Homo-oligomer: A and B are copies of this chain.
Amino acid sequence: MAGMTPEAAFIAALRGIASHPAARGLADDCAVLELGRETLILTHDMMVEGVHWLAGQDPADVAWKLLATNLSDLAAKGAEPIGVLLGYTLAEDNNRFIEGLGEALAHFGVPLLGGDTVRSPGAQTVGLTALGRATCQPVPSRSGAQAGNTVWITGPVGAAMLGFEALTCGNTSADTSAYRRPTPRLAEGCALAPLVTAMMDVSDGLLLDASRMAEASNVTIALDPARIPVPVGLPKDRLRDAISWGDDYELLFTLPVEAAPPCPAHCIGSVLPAGEAPLLLDGAAPYGQLGYEHR
């Protein structure tokens, strides 16, 4: 495991004990579990103070984002949320977290089913398990992209980055909601699931996540930077930053060339047979860091 980040090494080691097919080799956004006549979709994401959110950020936004990021994993499977379980280490003031969680649960129509609350001497750590029900079979995966497919994204990337930057430099007039309160593309995921050959949410940066999809599918994905949607007002020289930044939670998907998406989306590239690099940007393998690699 030389050269791996500690997180990547841990996940690689975990794969050795996650042999059940529902685990999908720990290489997908969710577990996919057949249960009677239903197909359950399961995901668990954690967030840590100072790592996944800024110290001093409104805990109501933290709660919203915790729910939204987990629901985004369900969206990538075309799943309808069933409910969530919360893991929570207590902070000094917990009221704003509860308010934000209640607001987000009501907004997305998802019930809180249970969880656990503990004391911790360290940084606050929150986790959420989301359960969903697959709305179509087969359940989309990252690994189905095929040469000849088109590559699409449901919306712009970079808005979360701009929001983060406005928050950290104290620009209170800027709209920071894309960073603080992302929107999981649940309706889009359900609409797309019957059509896509591969789908995932863009949580760690478009370049990195597209590269992961390409590797899982054993293809090369060629992106056309001129067609990648970005937020209004993004400086032109920040495109590369925007496509390497995470937290946007749009859906990235591939379609047969003749298919058109049933929801607003942008065609940003095409799938090629596996070449030397999993990812091409404007025809060349992109240099440098592709995204949020478990920093």
A residues with CB within 8 A of B:
6-7, 9-11, 13-14, 16-20, 22-24, 26, 30-31, 33, 35-38, 40, 42-48, 50-52, 82-83, 85-90, 94-95, 98, 101-102, 105-106, 111-123, 125, 127, 129, 131, 133, 294-295
Contacts and interface: CB of A to CB of B under 8 A. Distances in A.
A30 B114 contact: yes
14 contacts: A17-B98, A17-B112, A20-B113, A22-B111, A40-B131, A43-B85, A46-B88, A87-B87, A87-B127, A118-B125, A120-B123, A122-B125, A125-B125, A129-B129
Contacts of A95: 13
Given A94-B13, A102-B16, A111-B18, A48 B118 contact: yes
Contact of A10 (B9, B36, B88): B88
A100 to B, nearest CB: 10
B6 A94 contact: yes
Contacts of A94: 6, 9-10, 13
Contacts of A44: 85-87, 114-116, 127, 129
- For A86, A102, A113, the residue with the greatest tally of chain B CB atoms inside 10 Å of its CB is A113
A31 B186 CA distance: 24
Contact of A129 (B48, B85, B123): B85
B22 A113 contact: yes
A255 to B, nearest CB: 26
Nearest to A123: B122
Nearest to A113: B31
B13 A98 contact: yes
Contacts of A26: 114-115
A131 to B, nearest CB: 7
Given A17-B105, A31-B85, A129-B85, A114 B43 contact: yes
A112 B23 contact: yes
A13 B82 CA distance: 22
Contact of A46 (B17, B31, B112, B118): B118
B31 A125 contact: no
Given A82-B35, A85-B44, A112-B20, A117 B10 contact: yes
A150 to B, nearest CB: 29
Contacts of A48: 89, 118-122
